[in-house]
Structure 1
Amino acid sequence: MSPRARAAGRRAGTLALSALAAAALAGCAAFGNSHSTQTVTAPGSLASAQTLPSQHGQWPSLDWVDQFKDPQLRAMVDEAVKDNPNLQAAFARVEASRAMADATRSALYPHVDFDASLMRQRFSQTDLFEGTPLAGSWQNQSRLQAGLSYDFDFWGKNRKALEAALSDDRATEAESQASRLILTTSVARTYARLAALYAQRDVAERAIAQRRGLSDLSRDRLNAGLDTQVETTQARGTVASAQTDLLRVDEDILLARNQLAALLGKGPDRGLAIQRPTILAQSTPLLPDNLTIDLLGRRPDLVAARWRVEASSKDIEVARTEFLPAVTLTAFAGVASLDPSNLLMGISRTFGIGPAIRLPIFEGGKLRA
């Protein structure tokens, strides 16, 4: 090669390296104003010492239902957790989020695939094989090839994406626990209301018996000439009013039974099988210490919100890495032949390996959006 040709080659190489460096600098674009302006209020700044004083109480345990000592309530809570469709949908979302996390984790590892093909093809007479015996001929092109690709996570994009997916998974699980808590407490609250309605029914029955006795006494006094017809009529009216109250309580009891059946994921006939509650009287629980702070870690809805914030922050970091170059290594090895009978011969071997770099130069504002 002449000195002039070598100099031209060096200039071409220098220009190529300069273009590559410029492209890399363009790919590493500045983030600009891509940052959050939101702040989180510290829990300690929310004064509540007077409204929620410390009473040295204990937090509820996982078996809080058993403290009511009512086997029917325990069985209904278990039935609700098992059969309620909304809760089952929440559990299904947890499984879906875990599958997404597993799919995101796969980006951290090499991907290996295998390809086998057999194609009958006619080669063009004016293309690559022009002027050769293959031009215009039909050939059976066969190929067996294994491929490997690996994304070098220089900027932590894949790791941050996995952390975001795991945070989403934890948030979804916390949301399912929030749904479970709402469901079980709704069952217990409705069941307690049913117990209160039965107590009201007992009071209404005693009131009817008492007012009937007063009505009979008023009738006897009327017969003895000690009262007028007005007092007797008023006494009878109080009996009718008490009977109306009893019918209203019975209607409320039926409604509470139907509400429990709906919470259990069943039809109204399930409510007819609910027996009268036998909840034993319990002392009023005391508030635990550090309520405002510890509540953040015990309420599943707040825990879910925290994990959502964590996932969003990781998504922001993933978005920042989109401004940086991506380096991928690909390799393949196999055999290929136009004659299937020669496919497994050594002369049919084919292989290759090489890196690939993707540089985001101009995205029309997509990366900053």
Structure 2
Amino acid sequence: MKHLTLVSLAAALVLAGCTSMAPNYEQPALPVAGDWPEGSAYAESDGAAASTLRVADIAWHEFILDENLRTIVSMALENNRDLRVAALNIDRARAQYRIQRADSFPSIGISGSGTSQRLPADLNASGEAGITRQYNAGIGVSAYELDLFGRVRSLNEDALQRYLATEESRKTVQISLVAEVANAYLTLGSDQERLQLAERTLESQRNSYALTRRSHELGVASMLELRQAQTLVESARVDVARFTSQIAQDKNALVLLVGGPLSDALLPQSQKDDRVTLTQLDAGVPSEVLLRRPDVVEAERLLQAANANIGAARAAFFPRISLTASAGTSSSALSGLFEGGSGTWSFMPQLYLPIFEGGRNRANLEVSQVDRDIAQARYEKAIQSAFREVADSLAQRGTLDEQLDAQNALVEASADRQSLSDARYRQGVDSYLNVLDAERSLYAAQQDLISLRLVKNSNQVTLYKALGGGWNESSEPIAER
């Protein structure tokens, strides 16, 4: 037993002093510009924007202002199956890390055995047939590897970084889920507005059609004018049916995201401009924003894992020492198993030195190095993609106010044109074809205005997601601290 204690102590000291053969990790330089793009498409920053919180420091329940949407997002975070799978992946990766980490410690077990054997007379030294019995009990260490060259440590680091990457993946899924729910909510509100506009237009056109038909019966309006008025009615009917179907699909999409049924009281009847989410978002500095996005952090974790795996591949070229030891008692009678003088022990160190592997170790090292290069390329691509997402959102935000001003002016001008065309027609100055064209133009301009308002509202959500909203440095998993 004393020998086993000394061996275990020596193994622990050797393990504590070993170092990894993995190359020193250095964070790659940002493969994007140090500032966001500038130009006519981008809004100039002002003092108000600079004074706002960085998006990564704004929690989703602070970003979302609408109480109904907050309730829906909370339900989605609790019930959404994609997010549930992401959370279960974390549990799975954590268990895998613990399995790998167990290789850093010796496996100690207690064993007991008993054997009985009958030997015939011609095989027994005494010349007589007999039965022999042997009982053993002991405690031992089985094939414990002394990690002299850091192979086990490198594998542990690889498993740890992959586990931490799954946590970042869950954050990405959650941010995406919040954005998808918010966009689905806004889309439903937008389609509700479109349906309401189509219903108002249908009612107005039916009244106009009734007047035209009466005029036709009196011989004032021609059959052409009657049919022209009917085209507006049927067109509005088509839109009412189409938007009714679209609203049902919007509700189905929202229910899927939430992962359960939704009360009609929670559903929007309009977009509620500037009252659903925060409108002032500070883009910050690219190097600070992009490196904090969960998907970028996940890519870097996987890069660190690939870097650690190189250490394990390098260590495979060097000797591997494992220890197997046991101590206990042995006796021919069960009653004498723990009597004095029955103690036994064994110590079996094993050394394995690779001499010829047919190029396997070198190929494994090349694979690990290529995997590291692939992981670095994916990390850089993640940063570049994130930069583009933010830049696109900023470019869209920079021109949306101008587009909305122009669209509002277009709606007003189209409404005046429709009113004037109708008056000229009733005075017999103009044909009904001009009235028809003016009413179609007004209806199209109003529908485009609803769509443009949806683009602006969704832009806030997209920018919040692109900037990695809702996560900060204090939210790292416990295993990393």
TM range (shorter): 0.7 to 0.9
Of residues 50-59 and 101-110 in structure 1, the stretch that sits farther from structure 2 once superposed is: 50-59
Q: Contact 2:69–2:266 (CA<8 Å) still a contact in 1?
A: no
Computing the radius of gyration from Cα coordinates, the structure with the larger value is: 1
- CA 1:65–1:233 in 2, change beyond 3 Å: closer, same or farther? farther
Secondary structure (helix, strand or coil) at the match of 1:43 reads coil
Which digits, 9 at most, give the CA deviation of each residue in 1:148-168, with x for residues without a partner?
354322212222222111100
Secondary structure (helix, strand or coil) at the match of 1:346 reads coil
CA distance in 2, matches of 1:251, 1:236: 23
2:353 aligns to what?
359
1:23 aligns to what?
none
Q: Contact 2:320–2:352 (CA<8 Å) still a contact in 1?
A: yes
1:244 aligns to what?
238
Q: Note the residue ranges of structure 2 that are not aligned, 5 or more in a row.
A: 1-20, 364-481
Q: Contact 2:55–2:281 (CA<8 Å) still a contact in 1?
A: no
Of residues 186-195 and 278-287 in structure 1, the stretch that sits farther from structure 2 once superposed is: 278-287
Q: Contact 2:68–2:267 (CA<8 Å) still a contact in 1?
A: no
Q: What code does the residue aligned with 1:315 have?
A: N
2:251 aligns to what?
257
**TM-score between the two structures when normalised by the length of structure 2:** 0.61
Match of 2:182 among 180, 184, 188: 188
1:289 aligns to what?
284
Secondary structure (helix, strand or coil) at the match of 2:254 reads helix
Which digits, 9 at most, give the CA deviation of each residue in 1:145-201, with x for residues without a partner?
101354322212222222111100111111122222222222221111101101111
* 1:104 counterpart = 2:95: no
**TM-score between the two structures when normalised by the length of structure 1:** 0.78
Q: Note the residue ranges of structure 1 that are not aligned, 5 or more in a row.
A: 1-30
Which digits, 9 at most, give the CA deviation of each residue in 1:279-337, with x for residues without a partner?
5322644451223x234323222221111111011011111111111223333110112
* 1:305 counterpart = 2:296: no
Match of 2:86 among 69, 84, 90: 90
CA distance in 2, matches of 1:363, 1:225: 102
Secondary structure (helix, strand or coil) at the match of 1:202 reads helix
Of residues 214-223 and 173-182 in structure 1, the stretch that sits farther from structure 2 once superposed is: 214-223
CA distance in 2, matches of 1:202, 1:62: 34
Which digits, 9 at most, give the CA deviation of each residue in 1:192-247, with x for residues without a partner?
11011011111111211221232233234435544223212321221121011011
Match of 2:77 among 62, 77, 81: 81
Match of 2:224 among 224, 230, 234: 230
Cα deviation, residue 98, structure 1: 0.9
Of residues 337-346 and 213-222 in structure 1, the stretch that sits farther from structure 2 once superposed is: 213-222
* 1:147 counterpart = 2:143: no
* 1:121 counterpart = 2:121: no
* Map 1:337-348 → 2, pairs under 5 A: 337-348=331-342
* Map 1:125-204 → 2, pairs under 5 A: 132-133=125-126, 137-148=130-141, 150-204=144-198
Q: Contact 2:35–2:285 (CA<8 Å) still a contact in 1?
A: no
Percent of pairs with identical residues? 28
- CA 1:123–1:184 in 2, change beyond 3 Å: closer, same or farther? farther
Cα deviation, residue 86, structure 1: 2.5
CA distance in 2, matches of 1:146, 1:301: 48
Cα deviation, residue 136, structure 1: 6.2
Cα deviation, residue 271, structure 1: 5.7
Structure with the higher helix share, 1 or 2: 2
Cα deviation, residue 65, structure 1: 4.5
Q: Contact 1:66–1:74 (CA<8 Å) still a contact in 2?
A: no
Q: Contact 1:122–1:136 (CA<8 Å) still a contact in 2?
A: yes
